[in-house]
Structures are given as structure tokens and as C-alpha cells.
Amino acid sequence: MPKKRESNLEDLQKSPIRGVHYKPDSVDITLLDIDETNPGSDKYSARYQKRETPINESFDILGMIVYPLVISEKGNGSGRYWIVDGHGRYGELSRRGVTVVNAYIYPPLSLEQRILLRQTLNAAQAPFDTGLVIRDLFILAKERGLDVRNDKDLRALVADLPDNVREQYKKLKMLAQWPQDIVEKVSVDADTNSESLGVARLNELNGLVSTIRKYHSAAGENYSGYDLHRKVVSLYQGGTFRDGCKSDQGIRDAKSAFRAVPGDDPMVEKFLEGKVTLPKLRAVGQAHKATDEGETLLDLCKSLNAILTDAEWDDLEAAEQKALKQLNRMIMGSMEDAKTTVG
């Protein structure tokens, strides 16, 4: 039994694609054109690569592609068609040398209609491809004169899309805060290597950006526009957050340290520049947290030891060198006092 859904039937029935009918027919494959606005045509996306082998094997077994392509007439008198859905099947048919393909042919459609049609058709596929949906929403927003980063506009954009798209609203809202070139690298929730970003990982990085801007505004202001977003992605893909732990834990450790160190501490900027390692940042954060929570002198000494293990004197700022010299004098003075007391 289908689950109970939100009462939005009226919105769905207002979709510009509703009531537009197709006709089944056969078409010469050379008359089909790839719509460059369609993210489903991206041969380098994780989704495209995942479906390539199953489609290939199904052809080996069946000797054909069973499901028709979904295409629309261009409407410019050329007799050519846009591929709306079925890029994987189209690729396999082309590689096999098939010259005539079965298709559901729609009349000429506007870009808005093509986006709505392909998203509606793709909604039943798993996994839910949040990255590809948000790429289409950027285009759809432009067609409708809406801002995908505006909450009201984003809700309006998904109102006439299927339920599982609307259910992903929070993910879509988060992704809409990122530059489009980074969003275009996101496909499914798993990030299998350093070159790919899953939605869950990008959400972790989004929290890191927010933490920097909230607690260290001066460091955040050094990065204009989306530069801070690109910086944390660069650190992630460079392995910065995998130093001694899993990357998701490393990101959380960095956020915790940023909250613990004093506002606009130079350590933050050094970390962003790659001059401070995650273990050192973690130790600094723990030391500040220990001070705030009244931890023992032994705890503080352990944290200081962890920081100095990675430290090179020539790499320290003048203020840091001065602070260490002062601390050294205090320690040596305490030790002399201890000797006197014992004697």
C-alpha cells in the first residue's frame, strides 16, 4: 500500500508537463541529440558509471534494449529530437551499432517541461540522485525567474515534482548554498574516493564553514564569495581531515577545535592555509577546552606536548615564540623553586 503523502495534489496537477502526450514509434538513432542541459547525459557521473555495466549485461542476455527511450521533437523543422530520458540505453545502443531505436516521442517541449519530465521519470530510480536534481533545479530556477537559494523559491521549485524529490528538501536547501561547480561533482550519498563528494560529506563540510564564520569571522572574511567553501573542499580532497582518523571524524574534530579556540585565533587561518596539521589543531582545541573546564595541570601538559611534537621553531610566529619563551622561564623558575624547597 502506498504511504500517505502530503496534500499537494493541486500543485502536482498544475505541472506544465501534465497532459502532454507522447506517441510510441521507431526512430533513426542518428536523429537523436544529447541535451547538454540534462545532467543525466554526464558520462563521468557516478550514476552514469554505475548503470553502464548492468545495461551492457542486460543487452548480452536479451539481445536488445527492452525499454524505449523518451525523446521530444526539437520543433525547429530539422526533424531531429532531444533525448529526455534513457542516456545509458542510448549509449549502449550506439556502441552495439543499432540504427533504429524504439522511443516514446513527445511533441516539442520547453526547457522547463523537459526538466520536469526527466525529473518525474527519474524519481522512481534508486539511489536518489540529489546532486543531479539540484543541478536541474539551478536551470529550472533560471527558467522560472526564481532564486534556488531563497527558501520560498526553493519550495516553489519542488512543489510540482514527485514526493521523493520534495522529501529531500533539507538536502536540496543545503546544497543550494554551495557553488554550482562543486554541486555538479555530487551524485549519490557515498563518496568512494578523494575526487568525489557525497551529500553527507558535503553536509559535514557545510557545518565547518558555518563554524568558521560564526566563531572566527576575521578568518572567514579573508575568503570572498564561495572561496571558503572551495577551500574546505580542497582540504578535504587533499586528505587533511584523514590525518589519523576517518575524514568525517576529522571534520568534526576541526569544528570542535574551532569552537574551543579564542575568536580569530591565528591558528585557524594557519590551518586553512595548510600550515597546521589536524592533530596540532585538535591538541590546541583540547588545551583551550581543558582550560575552560578546569582540567588538571597534567592534562594541560599532555596537550602542550602534543602541540610541540609537530612544531618547528622557525615556523612559529614571533608572538608564539615569545609566548613559549615566557612559558619556559616560568617552568624553569618553578623548577628552581622546587629545588630550593627540597634542599
pLDDT tens digits along 188-222 = 544 444 445 778 888 899 999 999 998 898 888 88
Residues 104, 117: Cα–Cα separation, whole Å? 12
This prediction has a pTM of: 0.62
Task: List the grid coordinates of 278.
Answer: 589536524
CA dihedral of residues 158, 163, 169, 172 (deg, nearest 10): -70
The whole-number pLDDT of residue 84 equals 94
Residue 238 has pLDDT above 60, yes or no: yes
Of 39-48, 168-177, 286-295, the range with the highest mean pLDDT is 168-177
Rounded to an integer, the average pLDDT of 324-341 is 64
Residue 109 has pLDDT above 90, yes or no: yes
The answer for 276, left when phi > 0, alpha when psi is -120 to 50, beta otherwise, is: beta
Rounded to an integer, the average pLDDT of 273-282 is 86
Q: For the chain, what is the mean pLDDT? A: 81
Rounded to an integer, the average pLDDT of 241-246 is 78
What is the side-by-side order of every strand in the sheet holding 100-106? 23-28, 100-106, 69-73, 81-85, 32-34
Give tens-digit pLDDT for 160-188: 888 877 877 888 888 888 888 888 777 55
| Better pLDDT: 147 or 129 | 147
Residues 183, 160: Cα–Cα separation, whole Å? 22
The whole-number pLDDT of residue 341 equals 46
The answer for 52, left when phi > 0, alpha when psi is -120 to 50, beta otherwise, is: alpha
Domains by residue range for the chain, with CATH: 9-183 (3.90.1530.10), 199-311 (no CATH)
The whole-number pLDDT of residue 336 equals 62
Residues 115, 170: Cα–Cα separation, whole Å? 21
Residue 77 neighbours by CB distance under 10 Å:
7
Residues 296, 18: Cα–Cα separation, whole Å? 69
Give tens-digit pLDDT for 258-277: 888 888 788 888 899 988 88
Rounded to an integer, the average pLDDT of 234-263 is 86
